[in-house]
Structure 1
Amino acid sequence: MITLRAVETEDLEQFFVFQQDADAAHMAAFASTNPKDRSVFDHHWGQLLNSDDTIVRTIESDGQPVGSIAAFEDEASREITFWIEKRFWGQGITTEAVQKFLTEFPQRPVTARVVIDNLGTLKILESLGFTETGEESSFSNVRAKVVQEKILQLD
């Protein structure tokens, strides 16, 4: 059973461990350059949790935190971002969590940015009705190079 709930302090310990997975960081492309730097992690999460323009939830599977999902104001829309612990990939958890989040927060349009080789995330977003609206080049600290991102939108 997948649930979304407010982020609790204890969740941050799990999120810090999750971000240290090199494969997950590579797919996300826009994680911290040094995932073991707790001060950078704490600063980032402090900004997320203290922003009036950001909605953040812990994703739970059977009562266990398995990831996070957030939406923040970005120009004329709300942008969504999420992170699921690697061992839960491919189980439908992310799709269900994003679907629940979008139901809980029906403000539209919603955008998402995905590195073009992150096929799993692209598939999830497209299955939920997101359509490609463009591409953009951005520098990825994790990959130490410029990457192509697809920009998707849900109206």
Structure 2
Amino acid sequence: MAEVALRPIDDSDLDALFEQMRDPESVRMAAFTAENPDDRTAFDVHMAKVRTSPEVTTRAVTVDGRLVGSIASFVVDGDTEVTYWIDRSFWGQGIAGRALALLLESVRVRPVFARAASDNVRSLKVLQRAGFAIVGTEISFASGRRMEIEETILRLDEPAKTALSDVASGVRQP
């Protein structure tokens, strides 16, 4: 089984992360993205801000040492939220779940929240397997789709110990 790990984002990661976040299918699924995914200047400004903010924990996601995405926690209006982005060529391999489990081990704040487009079933499953519970929905403008869509809001009070251990080790729950 491939080893999923988190590490600080290096300057040398930025080109690959920018390209991952421009993939049209990934942008559509994530929905809540940068206003213009092709704007490298805006991307660089954003990454410089999040990499230096004390309220943000941002990490590169690697598989066997290869960069495959990013994951972060951040504070909005006093609430800690998590987000992740995995290169589309690695979808469906359990990487997001293992990366999320690793991040939640280091980000001990509870509750922690997450949001996903309500039709992004895979991301919702990743979050629920990690112990997040759906607490509501709202209609929000999704830059990645240039329209308002339903967004699901999830909350984690305490990680599901068994599920997190299994997700981190790559064991799938029935």
On the 8 A contact 1:132/1:151 being kept in 2, the answer is: yes
Question: For 1:53, which of 55, 58, 71 is the aligned residue?
Answer: 55
d(CA) in 2 for partners of 1:38, 1:77:
28
Structure 1 length normalisation: TM-score?
A: 0.96
Q: Structure 1 unaligned segments of length 5 or more: list them.
A: none
The aligned counterpart of 1:98 is 100
Question: For 1:27, which of 14, 20, 29 is the aligned residue?
Answer: 29
d(CA) in 2 for partners of 1:140, 1:20:
15
d(CA) in 2 for partners of 1:107, 1:32:
26
AA of the residue aligned to 2:124: L
- 1:80 equivalent to 2:82? Answer yes
Q: Which runs of 4+ in 1 moved over 4 A?
A: none
On the 8 A contact 2:114/2:155 being kept in 1, the answer is: yes
AA of the residue aligned to 2:111: P
On the 8 A contact 1:77/1:108 being kept in 2, the answer is: no
d(CA) in 2 for partners of 1:123, 1:79:
17
Alignment of 1:5-154 (within 5 A): 5-154=7-156
TM-fit CA distance, 1:76: 3.7
On the 8 A contact 1:56/1:68 being kept in 2, the answer is: yes
d(CA) in 1 for partners of 2:54, 2:108:
17
1:72-91 alpha-carbon deviations (Å, 9 max, x no partner): 11234210010000000000
TM-fit CA distance, 1:34: 2.5
d(CA) in 1 for partners of 2:93, 2:133:
23
| Identity of matched residues, % | 39
Task: Choose between structure 1 and 2: higher strand proportion.
Answer: 1
Number of residues of Structure 1 aligned to a counterpart in Structure 2:
155
Structure 2 length normalisation: TM-score?
A: 0.86
1:90-149 alpha-carbon deviations (Å, 9 max, x no partner): 001111000011012221111001100100000000011100111111111121110110
Instruction: Choose 43-52 or 93-102, whichever is displaced more.
Output: 43-52
On the 8 A contact 1:115/1:150 being kept in 2, the answer is: yes
Please, what is the CA RMSD of the aligned residues? 1.0
On the 8 A contact 2:138/2:151 being kept in 1, the answer is: yes
Q: Secondary structure at the match of 1:150?
A: strand
